Amino acid sequence: MKSEKISELTTSRLSVYLRCLNLLAAAGIKTISSQALADQFNLNSAQIRKDLAYFGEFGVRGVGYFVDDLRQHITKILGLDRPHRVGIVGAGNLGTALANYNGFATSNFIVVALFDNDREKIGKSIGNAQVMVHDVRKLARVAHSEEIDVAVIAVTARVAQRVLNQVMSAGIKAVLNFAPVRLHARLGVKVKTVDLTVSLESLSYFLARPQITCVTNPRSILPYEEIAQREEHEL
Amino acid sequence: MKSEKISELTTSRLSVYLRCLNLLAAAGIKTISSQALADQFNLNSAQIRKDLAYFGEFGVRGVGYFVDDLRQHITKILGLDRPHRVGIVGAGNLGTALANYNGFATSNFIVVALFDNDREKIGKSIGNAQVMVHDVRKLARVAHSEEIDVAVIAVTARVAQRVLNQVMSAGIKAVLNFAPVRLHARLGVKVKTVDLTVSLESLSYFLARPQITCVTNPRSILPYEEIAQREEHEL
DNA sequence: CTCTGTGAAGTCATTCACAGCG
DNA sequence: CGCTGTGAATGACTTCACAGAG
C-alpha cells in the first residue's frame, strides 16, 4: 500500500476488473489468480497485481484473490458503494438514450433528472424510468433538491461551455461530456469527454491504410471480459 | 517523413487538430504556428510538430503552417477525403440517437442503414435523415448493396460478439462498439470500444477522493479547441 | 510449489533544446 | 529573427523476474 498518485489508466482498469469479478461471483467462482484474470483481457498479470497493490495487499500468496473480497474492495475504491445521482443536460436524442440506458444502474448511478430549454419537453417525463425534464434555468435548484452529484452534458458543442458553467455553479464536481469541444473546468471539477467524432476519425485512418498491421496501442484500448453479461444493457 | 508505426494517440490528436483548423479556416486565418495551435489545447508545441512530421514536412520555417494546406493534408491522412458509409446495428435508443447525430456528416460519415431484429421496427425509416431499418439477418446483403464500410454496434452486451461476427462476415473492417464487452475481432478488423460505464466509474473514483488534485493524465484526455463551433451538433 | 508484491529493466510517449532554413 | 524538424533527455506506463509468504 502506497499513497502515490493513481493514473486514470489504473482506475479504468479497476472498473474493468470489477465487471469481470461481478461475473465470476455470479458464476460461483471463489478465487482467481492475477494470471487467470489477465487472460480474460489481454493484459499482463503484473499489471493487475500492480494496479491492486496501490490500494492494499488483497491477495493471498499461492492462492490468488478471493473474488468476493476483491470485488468489495474495488467497489469501495471506485466509490461505487454509495449511489450517485445523475442529471442529464440536454433532452435530445442522446440525452434521452442515456436516460434509458439501464447499464448505469449496475454501477450504482441513478438518473434523477433531465434538463432542457425546450418548452415542449419541460414538465414531461421521459423514458422507461419516467425521468422528469426540468427547465435548464432551474438546474442549480433541482441539483440541490435532488442531490445530483454527476452531470452529463448532452447538448450542442456551441452551448456546452455555458452549460458546464451552470453545472459548476450548481456545485457539481463530476461531469461526463459528450459535446465535441474542449471544456474548461475550474479546479476541483472533473470533466471526462467522450468524443464520437475522434473515435470515428481514428477508424477512418485505419481504413485508409489496410496494409498497416492493426497495432492497437494497449494504452488506448479498454479491455473487456469475454464472458457474456447476464443483465440486459439496453442502449 | 518517416514510415514508422503511428500510434493511435497521434491519430486522435490529428483529428483534434483538424477540427481546429477547420474553424481557423472558417475564421479566415491563413497561417498558424505549432505554438499557437498548442495553446488552443493544452499541448506542447513539439508534440504537434512531431505528430505532423510523421507524415511529411508541411510547415514553413519562420512562418508556421498554412491552415488550408495543412487541413487538406490531415483530411487526406485520416482518409476523410472520401465518404464513409455507416451501418448501425441496434435501432434502440442509442442506435436511433446516433442515426440522428449530425456531427458525423462533418467528418464525411453518412449513416445509410440501421439493423434490428424487432419486427416492429424493420421496414420503417427513422430519424431526420429517414434511415431505413433492415432485418439484421440481411446485414451482409445490405452492407454490400449500400457499400457500408463502417459498422456501429449499439446492441446489448450479451449479443455484441454475435453481431460483430456477422459484421465481420459481411466484410466490414472498421467497427465502433458501444456495448460494454471486450470483443474479439479477427486480424485486419479494427474495433474501437466506447465505454460509458468505465468513464462514469472513473468519475466516481474522483468523487470519492475530492482531496486528490485533479491530475488528468494527458494521455487519457482528448483535448479540444476552445473556439465555439459554428455548426450545430445536435445530439 | 504456487502465486503475490515489488524493485529493476524495458518500452513507448512527451518534452526539451537547438541546429538550420526562410 | 521566428519557427520548423528532430536527436537527446526525460518521464510515464508496462513487463520482467524474483524474493518471500502461504
Residue pLDDT, tens place only, A86-103: 999 999 988 998 998 878
> According to the model, what pLDDT value does residue A195 have?
92
Residue B233 confidence (pLDDT) above 50: no
Q: Is A174 on the interface with B (CB under 8 A)?
A: yes
Q: Mean pLDDT over residues A132-159, rounded?
A: 96
Which of left, alpha, beta for B172 (phi over 0: left; psi -120 to 50: alpha)?
beta
CA distance B123 to chain A (A): 20
Question: Considering the entire predicted model, what is its pTM?
Answer: 0.87
SS3 labels along A104-124: HHHCCEEEEEEEECCCCCCCC
Is any atom of nucleic acid chain D found less than 7 Å from the CB of residue A218? Answer: yes
Within chain B, residue ranges assigned H as helices are 8-26, 34-40, 45-53, 67-77, 93-99, 103-106, 139-145, 157-169, 196-208
**Count of CB atoms within 10 A of residue A207's CB?**
18
The set of cell numbers assigned to B94 is 442509442
- Based on C-alpha coordinates, what's the Rg of chain A? 20
Rounded Cα distance between A79 and B201, Å, is: 8
> Given pLDDT bands bounded at 50, 70 and 90, which one contains residue B35?
very high
CA distance A1 to chain B (A): 16
Distance B70 CA to D6 C1' (A): 20
The answer, yes or no, to whether residue B211 has pLDDT greater than 60, is no
Give the pLDDT confidence score for residue B4 in this predicted structure.
Answer: 67
Residue B214 pLDDT more than 70?
Answer: no
- A 180-219 residues with CB < 8 A to B: 180-184, 187-190, 192-210, 212-217, 219
Between residues A227 and A119, which one has the greater pLDDT?
Answer: A119
Instruction: Give the CA B52 to C1' C18 distance in Å.
Output: 19
What pLDDT, on a 0 to 100 scale, did the predictor assign at position A152? Answer: 98
Query: Comparing C-alpha atoms, which of B158, B202, B151 is closest to residue B174?
Result: B151
Average pLDDT value over all residues in chain B: 88
Secondary structure of chain A: what % helix, strand, coil (to 5)? Answer: 40, 15, 45
Cβ–Cβ < 8 Å for A37, A47: no
pLDDT confidence bin for B30, thresholds 50/70/90 = very high
Q: What are phi and psi of B15, to 5 degrees?
A: -60, -40
Q: Identify the three-state secondary structure at position B71.
A: helix
Check CB contact under 8 Å for B198 and A15.
yes
Task: Say what the pLDDT of residue B58 is.
Answer: 98
Which among B15, B161, B224 is the nearest to A201, CB-wise? Answer: B15
The Cα–Cα gap between B205 and A15 comes to: 10
- Asked if B11 reaches chain A (Cβ–Cβ under 8 Å), the answer is yes
Q: Is the pLDDT at A3 greater than 70, yes or no?
A: no
Dump strand ranges (E) for B96-234: 109-116, 125-126, 131-135, 150-153, 174-177, 190-193
pLDDT tens digits, residue range B106-148? 899 999 999 999 999 999 999 888 999 999 999 999 999 999 9
Chain C bases near protein CB atoms (7 A cut-off): 1-7, 12-17, 20-22
Q: How many CB atoms lie within 10 A of CB A57?
A: 9
Alpha carbon distance B48, B66 (integer Å):
14
- Cβ-based neighbours of A105, under 8 Å, separated by 6 or more: none
Scan residues 126-165 of A and list those with Cβ closer than 8 Å to B. Answer: 149-150, 154-158, 161
Q: Distance between CA atoms of A98 and B47, rounded to whole angstroms?
A: 35
Distance from CA of A158 to the nearest CA of B (A): 5
DSSP SS3 for A32: strand
**Interatomic CA distance for residues B227 and B235, integer angstroms:** 19
A92-101, B52-61, B84-93, B189-198: least confident range:
A92-101
Residue B212 is predicted with a pLDDT of 52
On the question of pLDDT at A233 being above 50, the answer is: no
Which residues put CB within 7 Å of chain C, the nucleic strand?
A 33-35, 45-46, 49-50, 52-53, 57-65, 217, 219; B 7, 9-10, 43-44, 46-47, 49-50, 60-63, 218-219
Residue A70 in this model has a pLDDT that exceeds 90? yes
Neighbour-count burial of B58, counting CB atoms closer than 10 A to its CB (0-12 exposed, 13-18 middle, 19+ buried) = middle
Helix, coil or strand: residue B157: helix
